[in-house]
């Protein structure tokens, strides 16, 4: 049966993780996969998570099935975190999913069920898994301009010119914050203009929120989503707790549809039935950790302080790398790194230069120059800056 089964290619992120793990060199530096690392290079379990887990282990009496949507306490807590009361609960249908990845996939399938001919517009630079997930769900995608290659900033005019062509059959995928891979986020004005474009075209926004809390803060990072949810009739959301709760392998995600009140039962039913078809019940443990933290003021305070220090460390790494690259290269070409936010920036390097960084210096980043700023520390910043200056010279 399987003689002709095609061998799937690995995506760049997973291939890089494997190559890094297999590299025997001592001083190798991993700036690839998007996980937070502390100054010592570890990805520790957060203190708030540890405490919530102890509480769950001590008090949980059953692990029997819940509903297809998952634990209502998790869904309510996430709704609060994401929407902050911007829209009434009566407009919100949500289900738990195994990670943000599955949330993206489920929303794409929901779109196909609703409008078989829909196109999802995705930013020209985006998470490498977006297009494959959308294609696997049987939906078309089409790029819109995002980063201006010469300035490294948002190509605002290009983006809005492309999105003006979207129609009411289309969906526009936007990164809620900490754009992956460019680190370029929309300003308050950009979100407001985006709302106007979506209002005019009738295209439905689909917000991928994978890094809430890593940009400017929990509320500021959700500002764009909340603005669109309050302004427009329909908004789709895929959220992840991998990074902001450090729950990566627990797979904690959420698929949400914000719709006019009479449609909520239809959307809740559709999302639950997609869960049933793909995996039935979402994983529970990670979501229970999240709701335990968010519903306990003392634990929530600990979690927020931990997240604040993670965000501050990544921002400091950005400043340090931009400074080091300015002095190493004698140019201000890399200054923009300090103005971008979240884990990633797209460095202006060629695929050959990235390969030379890997082969000659043991520095791993994605072939398009995507660099995980959380993977740097005080010792590696000068090493990385020096190596980049060498390979681009």
Which residues, in sequence order, are CB contacts of 175 under 8 Å at separation 6+?
A: 123, 126, 185, 207, 208, 209, 210
Task: Please give the angle made by the CA atoms of 22, 347 and 127, to the nearest 5 degrees.
Answer: 70
Indicate the residue among 36 and 69 with the shorter CB distance to ligand LMR: 36
Indicate the residue among 34 and 369 with the shorter CB distance to ligand LMR: 34
- At residue 238, φ and ψ (nearest 5 deg) are -120, 125
Residue of this chain nearest to ligand LMR (CB atom): 34
CB of 5 to ligand LMR, least distance (A): 24
Element (H, E) at 175: strand 171-175
Indicate the residue among 203 and 255 with the shorter CB distance to ligand LMR: 255
Task: Tell me, yes or no, if 210 is annotated catalytic.
Answer: yes
Indicate the residue among 31 and 258 with the shorter CB distance to ligand LMR: 31
Binding mask 3-32 for ligand LMR (x = CB under 6 A): ----------x-------------------
Question: Which 8-state DSSP code applies to residue 367?
Answer: T
Residues of span 107-146 touching ligand LMR by CB under 6 A: 127, 129
Among residues 162, 185, 208, 284, the one annotated as catalytic is 208
CB of 63 to ligand LMR, least distance (A): 26
Residues of span 144-203 touching ligand LMR by CB under 6 A: 180
C-alpha torsion sign, points 352, 353, 354, 356: positive
Indicate the residue among 28 and 115 with the shorter CB distance to ligand LMR: 28
Number of residues that bind ligand LMR (CB under 6 A): 7
Rg of the chain (C-alpha set): 21
Q: How far apart are CA 51 and CA 371, in angstroms?
A: 32
Among residues 48, 71, 77, 127, the one annotated as catalytic is 127
Residues of span 78-107 touching ligand LMR by CB under 6 A: 101
* Spacing of C-alpha 136 from chain mean position: 19
CB of 241 to ligand LMR, least distance (A): 12
Whether the Cβ atoms of residue 239 and residue 209 lie closer than 8 Å to each other: yes
Which residues, in sequence order, are CB contacts of 206 under 8 Å at separation 6+?
A: 107, 111, 120, 171, 172, 173, 174, 235, 236, 237, 238
36 forms part of the interface with ligand LMR (CB under 6 A):
no
CB of 221 to ligand LMR, least distance (A): 16
* Spacing of C-alpha 101 from chain mean position: 9
Interface residue list for ligand LMR (CB under 6 A): 13, 33-34, 101, 127, 129, 180
**Which residues are known catalytic residues?**
127, 208, 210, 243
């Amino acid at each position: 049966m399987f003689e002709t089964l095609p061998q799937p290619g690995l995506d760049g992120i997973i291939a890089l993780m494997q190559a890094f793990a297999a590299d025997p060199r001592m001083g190798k530096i991993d700036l690839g996969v998007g996980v937070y690392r502390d100054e010592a290079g570890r990805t520790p379990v957060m203190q708030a998570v540890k405490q919530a887990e102890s509480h769950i282990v001590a008090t949980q009496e059953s692990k029997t099935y819940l509903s297809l949507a998952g634990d209502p306490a998790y869904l309510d807590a996430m709704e609060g975190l994401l929407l902050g009361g911007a829209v009434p609960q009566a407009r919100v249908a949500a289900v738990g999913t195994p990670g943000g990845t599955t949330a993206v996939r489920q929303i794409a399938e929901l779109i196909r069920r609703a409008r078989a001919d829909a196109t999802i517009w995705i930013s020209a630079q985006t998470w490498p898994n977006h297009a494959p997930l959308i294609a696997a769900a049987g939906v078309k995608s089409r790029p819109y301009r995002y980063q201006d290659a010469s300035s490294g900033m948002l190509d605002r005019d290009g983006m809005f010119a492309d999105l003006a062509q979207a129609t009411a059959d289309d969906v526009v995928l936007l990164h809620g914050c900490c754009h992956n891979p460019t680190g370029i986020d929309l300003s308050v004005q950009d979100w407001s203009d985006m709302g106007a474009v979506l209002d005019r075209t009738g295209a439905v926004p689909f917000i991928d929120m994978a890094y809430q809390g890593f940009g400017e803060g929990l509320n500021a990072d959700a500002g764009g989503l909340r603005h669109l949810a309050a302004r427009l009739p329909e908004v789709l959301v895929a959220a992840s707790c991998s990074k902001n709760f450090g729950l990566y392998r627990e797979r904690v995600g959420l698929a949400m549809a914000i719709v006019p009140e009479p449609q909520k039962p239809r959307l809740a039913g559709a999302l639950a039935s997609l869960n049933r078809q793909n995996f039935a019940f979402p994983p529970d443990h990670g979501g229970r950790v999240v709701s335990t933290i968010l519903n306990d003021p003392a634990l929530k305070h600990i979690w927020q302080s931990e997240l604040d220090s993670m965000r501050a460390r990544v921002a400091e790494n950005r400043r340090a790398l931009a400074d080091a690259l300015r002095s190493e290269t004698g140019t201000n070409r890399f200054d923009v790194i300090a103005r971008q936010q979240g884990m990633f920036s797209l460095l202006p390097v060629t695929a050959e230069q990235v390969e030379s960084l890997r082969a000659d210096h043991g520095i791993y980043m994605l072939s398009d120059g995507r660099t995980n700023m959380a993977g740097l520390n005080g010792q590696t910043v000068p090493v990385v800056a020096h190596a980049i200056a060498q390979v681009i010279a």
